[in-house]
Amino acid sequence: MYVLITGASSGIGLEIAKLLAKKEYDLILVARRKNRLLGLKKQLEARYKVKVITKECDLSEEENCYQLFEEIKNLDITVLINNAGFGKIGYFENISLENELDMIRTNIIAPHILTKLFIKVKQKGFILNVASMAGFQPGPVMATYGATKAYLLNLSLSINYELQRSNKNIHITTLCPGPVDTEFNKVANADFNLSSITARQCAKEAIRGLFQRKELVVPGMNMKLLRIASKFAPLKIILPMEFRIQTKKTNL
Ligand SMILES: NC(=O)c1ccc[n+]([C@@H]2O[C@H](COP(=O)([O-])OP(=O)(O)OC[C@H]3O[C@@H](n4cnc5c(N)ncnc54)[C@H](OP(=O)(O)O)[C@@H]3O)[C@@H](O)[C@H]2O)c1
């Protein structure tokens, strides 16, 4: 039984790969950095009784998503983990359009395509879509990123609701982490001032929630509490609060 993990070369995806290898799932690891994937394959195959396939793939290219699925669709894949993604901090007018379109393609189009193809082809299985706490509300100074995660969050919750009323045995869990200590900050050009959880902890809670068929997983106690509190906060509080948090993360 294979698990397909996108964005397995670092951070949350890499930790999910380690946890699932320990549970003896065979893995298909996807990312752009081939050497990282090959290093992880070597490590996991030496340590656990698993087969690991690596796929060097830039998911921001729509064609690559179709090609990836075509190459692996005949394998016995029971879990799809759409984890690859990135953010960029900055004022909307200053972030390059190309960077934002790349983000939209990686964070929205790629998981959309892979989720669709998986559901079309498979009768049963699990999907973990990695959104973010940033998807629950508008986020000035990280506007596009938050919007991509709001898309993935709402898409995943809606499809899961449909699936639970269909004759397919497929369940989607949406993971919404707050700050996690990974390479995300470096790529986003941010220094988080909120306390982060480890990628290991995030991965553990995600996998537990996935196999318990939870529709939503918010890892870490602080973020669970923040999520509850933010449900009652009006936009006139949320918008300036988000603005303050994001501008503090970098020299803006
Ligand atoms: N860290 C946080 O605070 C945080 C909070 C909420 C949500 N998240 C979400 O968690 C997910 C994982 O991020 P992370 O925190 O683990 O960050 P990370 O350490 O930077 O990992 C991101 C992963 O995505 C892959 N990736 C990025 N662009 C790609 C592309 N075009 N094609 C294929 N793979 C691509 C990267 O691999 P290559 O560079 O090798 O391609 C890497 O493996 C993301 O969706 C992120 O939005 C993170």
Q: Which of 14, 27, 69, 86 to mutate to test the pocket of ligand 1 (most atoms within 8 A of CB)?
A: 86
3-state SS string for 140-158: CCCHHHHHHHHHHHHHHHH
The fold for domain 2-248 equals Rossmann fold (3.40.50)
Q: Which atom of ligand 1 is the closest one to the Cα of 59? A: 32
Q: At what angle do helices 62-72 and 110-121 cross, to 10 degrees?
A: 30
Token reading at 111: 């998981």
Q: Which of 5, 12, 55 to mutate to test the pocket of ligand 1 (most atoms within 8 A of CB)?
A: 12
What's the pLDDT score for residue 20? 98
Q: How far is the CA of 234 from the centre of ligand 1 (A)?
A: 30
Q: Is the CB of 244 under 6 A from ligand 1?
A: no
Classify residue 90 by its DSSP letter. Answer: S
Is 161 in the active site?
no
The residue nearest atom 36 of ligand 1, judged by CA position, is 7
Per-residue pLDDT of the chain (252 residues; tens, 9 = 90+): 999 999 999 999 999 999 999 999 999 999 999 999 999 999 999 999 999 999 999 999 999 999 999 999 999 999 999 999 999 999 999 999 999 999 999 999 999 999 999 999 999 999 999 999 999 999 999 999 999 999 999 999 999 999 999 999 999 999 999 999 999 999 998 876 678 999 999 999 999 999 999 999 999 999 999 999 989 999 999 999 999 988 988 767
Lookup result for tokens 């990686």: 106
Task: Give the span between the Cα atoms of 56 and 40, in whole angstroms.
Answer: 13
Lookup result for tokens 């940033």: 134
Of 125, 145, 120, 150, the residue nearest 135 (C-alpha): 150
Lookup result for tokens 């790349």: 102
Is 145 in the active site?
yes
What's the pLDDT score for residue 195? 81
Q: Is the CB of 132 under 6 A from ligand 1?
A: yes
Q: How far is the CA of 118 from the centre of ligand 1 (A)?
A: 21
The active-site residue out of 41, 122, 149, 249 is 149
Going from N- to C-terminal start, the domains of the chain cover 2-248
The active-site residue out of 122, 145, 151, 249 is 145
What's the pLDDT score for residue 192? 63
